[in-house]
A and B are shown apart, each in its own frame.
Chain A
Amino acid sequence: SQKIEQNSEALNIQEGKTATLTCNYTNYSPAYLQWYRQDPGRGPVFLLLIRENEKEKRKERLKVTFDTTLKQSLFHITASQPADSATYLCALGRSGGYNKLIFGAGTRLAVHP
């Protein structure tokens, strides 16, 4: 069955450092991948979308890579700030035919001053 793995343990980093979160998947061939941020008690908020033919996408301090050979996406936050503390979810989708997003359980990021 399809499986998405994100680190279940929280990632703790110091303010100003780069945070790197990992999303691995198996038994799936996504056409695109999305990253969302979720704060406690709130709904997910869309951050970035990357397609299978794109290696890298950037938006301000955020960078996403997508390696379909390794079946992995990396999500980077540079110059991290305490306000970046949240849970980050990856979600995979396929084009063509019936389509839906499959979400990972997310990784909690804590940025310490």
Chain B
Amino acid sequence: DAMVIQNPRYQVTQFGKPVTLSCSQTLNHNVMYWYQQKSSQAPKLLFHYYDKDFNNEADTPDNFQSRRPNTSFCFLDIRSPGLGDAAMYLCATSREGTGGPPGNQPQHFGDGTRLSIL
């Protein structure tokens, strides 16, 4: 089945130690998103890739970076995790029309990576 896969499901890191979360998709969707979701809160968009074009949200801390080496894979790098970065990180994809910004299409989510900071 076509899907969005996130690895690992659970990640523990130390305060200040860089960590990378990964996402892969077999849907061949052109847009990939990263969200942060804390307990009982709304998913918060960090950034997205529209094909190879990176779009950062204005309030996403510089501590968060992303890479998309090809259509199928996307990575979230947290350079120096703080205690406040403990959360569920969700990757999502959508297929958007060519030549325009994302929107109006369902997003397909992975099951997330739960990040804990010691």
A contacts, CB < 8 Å to B = 4, 8, 31-32, 34, 41-46, 49, 51, 89, 93-95, 97-106
Interface residues on B, range: 20 to 34
Indicate which residue in B43, B101, B112 contacts A98 across the interface (CB closer than 8 Å). B101
Indicate which residue in A34, A45, A102, A105 contacts B41 across the interface (CB closer than 8 Å). A105
In the bound assembly, the distance between CA atoms of A89 and B37 in angstroms comes to 12
Q: Is the CB of B104 within 8 A of A100?
A: no
Contacts A95-B103, A99-B101, A99-B102; is A43 near B42 (CB within 8 Å)? no
In the bound assembly, the distance between CA atoms of A44 and B94 in angstroms comes to 13
Number of residue pairs A-B, CB distance < 8 angstroms: 64
In the bound assembly, the distance between CA atoms of A60 and B42 in angstroms comes to 26
In the bound assembly, the distance between CA atoms of A99 and B109 in angstroms comes to 18
Q: Is the CB of A32 within 8 A of B104?
A: yes
Q: Is the CB of B42 within 8 A of A101?
A: no
Query: What are the nearest 10 A-B pairs in CB distance?
Result: A43-B109, A99-B103, A46-B106, A103-B42, A105-B42, A99-B101, A103-B43, A93-B103, A43-B111, A44-B109
A32, A49, A105: most-surrounded residue (chain B CB, <10 A): A105
Indicate which residue in B6, B40, B57, B109 contacts A45 across the interface (CB closer than 8 Å). B109
Q: Is the CB of B45 within 8 A of A43?
A: no
In the bound assembly, the distance between CA atoms of A4 and B41 in angstroms comes to 12
Indicate which residue in B55, B107, B110, B111 contacts A101 across the interface (CB closer than 8 Å). B107
